[in-house]
């Protein structure tokens, strides 16, 4: 039977149910700032984040509660206060059960073998690598205590690369670099390792449009939001097509080119192939990327001929641009759909373009 895992000041134990969790909380076995892992989950939460424990946590440890109704800023502020203790517990617990690398190796950035912004430390012995999330075809493994580059997050799996081996690894088989940092640093870099928690799909709508092949084509219009200080890229969206009864007909995955700038939102659109270029293909990209493509270099303003050519090229792109994403359906009976983020990668500071 699945159990709740508890990490309290480096001491790990478990509980079989919420009722047992409440009992342990009342006895002071763990505090609001300690971390819990729900049954079957890969991620950890703070005890104070679990509404069922609010009345059970001891008063001498009492802290302001965090509910899902509070704004992300309030949640992050409280998480920052708790992160120092929780982060220390992670490292201490790991050191009790693993062969820790040399302390100089555990610096977040730099050091003799320091972890970089988007590296993880492998804790499984070894960590299995698969061709897609949830398992599938094995692609090899990463040895314990080795490092791997983070390419994205997809549900309870990380998209990682180590040397020539690339694939999906369970979240529980690695520890992100930021866990070894102090509280403020943990709070700052969490979006790099849990980017899907900061990207939202909003203002979505869809409509059927005729296609020359006599198959339904659905046009999805939506906005992607980014509630973090990092740009988000390599976005892959999942469109779940449903009939009038809510039954799932099919699932389509849509890769999006471009980035969502920090603390901003952008629409998504389709750039049709260039009719004059036989090698040109349809591209689905963020509107912010498209705006960058059609922007005219101010330097051309001093050269009338260059300015005219740049304006003409920009207009040609505008003529090929359509807001929204056209998806050809393989099934019939479409009546609705939901769009969710399947995978995304946060852009680390060393990849961010310099501010102008």
Q: pLDDT tens digit string along 166-183? A: 999 999 899 887 776 666
Q: Taking a C-beta distance cutoff of 8 angstroms, is the pair 325, 287 a contact?
A: no
**Residue 60 vs residue 339, higher pLDDT:** 339
Q: Taking a C-beta distance cutoff of 8 angstroms, is the pair 314, 296 a contact?
A: yes
Place of tokens 């198959």: 215
Residue 293 pLDDT exceeds 50: yes
Residue 152's alpha-carbon distances to 62, 200, 258, in angstroms, are: 36, 16, 15
Closest CA to 7 of 38, 45, 34, 40: 34
Structure tokens at 328: 């050809």
Structural domains of the chain in order of their starting residue, each with its CATH number: 4-97 (no CATH), 103-193 (2.30.30.40), 197-351 (no CATH)
Give the mean model confidence (pLDDT) for residues 80-97. Answer: 40
- Average pLDDT across the chain, whole number: 78
State the pTM of this model.
0.65
Q: Taking a C-beta distance cutoff of 8 angstroms, is the pair 86, 45 a contact?
A: no
* Region of poorest pLDDT, from 68-72, 273-277, 284-288: 68-72
pLDDT band at 41 (very low <50, low <70, confident <90, very high): confident
């Amino acid at each position: 039977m699945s159990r709740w895992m508890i990490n309290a000041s480096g001491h790990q134990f478990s509980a079989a149910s919420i009722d047992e969790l409440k009992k342990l909380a009342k006895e002071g076995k763990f505090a609001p700032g300690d971390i819990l892992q729900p049954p079957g989950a890969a991620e950890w939460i703070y005890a104070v984040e679990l509404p069922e424990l609010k009345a059970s946590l001891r008063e001498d440890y009492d802290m302001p509660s965090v509910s899902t109704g509070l704004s992300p800023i309030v949640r992050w502020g409280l998480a920052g206060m708790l992160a120092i203790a929780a982060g220390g517990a992670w490292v201490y617990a790991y050191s009790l059960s693993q062969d820790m690398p040399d302390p100089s190796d555990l610096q977040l950035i730099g050091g003799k073998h320091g972890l970089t912004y988007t590296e993880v430390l492998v804790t499984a012995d070894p960590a299995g690598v698969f061709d897609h999330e949830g398992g599938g075809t094995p692609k090899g493994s990463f040895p314990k205590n080795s490092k791997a580059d983070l390419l994205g997050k997809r549900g309870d799996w990380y998209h990682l690369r180590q040397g020539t081996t690339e694939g999906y690894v369970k979240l529980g088989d690695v520890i992100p670099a930021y866990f070894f940092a102090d509280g403020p640093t943990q709070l700052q870099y969490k979006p790099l390792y849990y980017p899907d928690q900061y990207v939202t799909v909003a203002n979505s709508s869809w409509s059927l449009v005729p296609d020359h092949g006599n198959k339904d084509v659905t046009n999805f219009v939506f906005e992607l939001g980014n509630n973090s200080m990092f740009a988000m890229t390599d976005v892959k969206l999942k469109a779940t097509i449903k009939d009038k009864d809510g039954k799932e007909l099919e699932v389509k995955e849509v890769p999006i080119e471009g980035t969502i700038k920090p603390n901003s939102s952008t629409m998504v659109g389709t750039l049709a192939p260039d009719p004059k270029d036989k090698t040109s293909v349809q591209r689905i990209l963020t509107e912010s990327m498209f705006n960058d493509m059609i922007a005219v270099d101010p330097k051309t303003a001093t050269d009338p001929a260059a300015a005219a050519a740049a304006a003409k090229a920009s207009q040609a792109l505008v003529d090929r641009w359509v807001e929204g994403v056209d998806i050809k359906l393989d099934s019939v009976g479409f009546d609705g759909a939901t769009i969710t983020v399947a995978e995304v990668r946060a852009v680390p500071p060393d990849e961010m373009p310099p501010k102008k």
